[in-house]
Amino acid sequence: MKEKHDQLDFDGHQGILIVANEGCYAHARDVVDACAFIDFSRYPNVDKIYFEEVQGKFQLVYDREAWYAMEARKLPKGGEARVLVVGWLEVRLAKKSLVLLKPS
């Protein structure tokens, strides 16, 4: 296969990626923040991404439906999707504020 995400291309199935954290001390919050700026349209078969913050503790860091809601300027009704969108908006707004406050 030309692209690894093609492995998730099955009709009627959700493409879920699980990222195991072996020897890397990243926090799920950092991964969520990074996802706020990634163009996932290049990976149409990835619907959700779970990140292992510590051994055995997986957290949702990306959800395609939540991303679509944010791009449509809507907030999901609740649950993990809503938390993701709020986090993405916070980090995007913080970055925009830093650009506006850039020293001259």
Q: Where are the domains of the chain?
A: 4-100
Q: What integer pLDDT is reported at residue 8 of this predicted model?
A: 53
Quick one: which H or E segment has residue 53?
Answer: strand 48-54
Look at residue 24 in the predicted model and tell me its pLDDT. 67
Neighbour-count burial for 21-58, b at 16+ CB within 10 Å, e otherwise: beeeeeebeebbbebbeeeeeebebbbbbbbbbeeeeb
Quote the distance between the C-alpha of residue 54 and its chain's center. 18
User: pLDDT for 12-43, tens place per residue?
Assistant: 556 666 666 666 677 888 889 999 998 888 88
Res. 1 pLDDT band, cuts 50 70 90: very low
Other C-beta atoms lying within 10 Å of the C-beta of residue 67 = 20
Please report the pLDDT score of residue 88 as a whole number. Answer: 92
- What pLDDT does 80 receive? 92
pLDDT of residue 103: 54
pLDDT tens by residue, 47-80: 898 888 877 788 899 999 999 998 899 999 889 9
Q: What is the pLDDT of residue 14?
A: 62
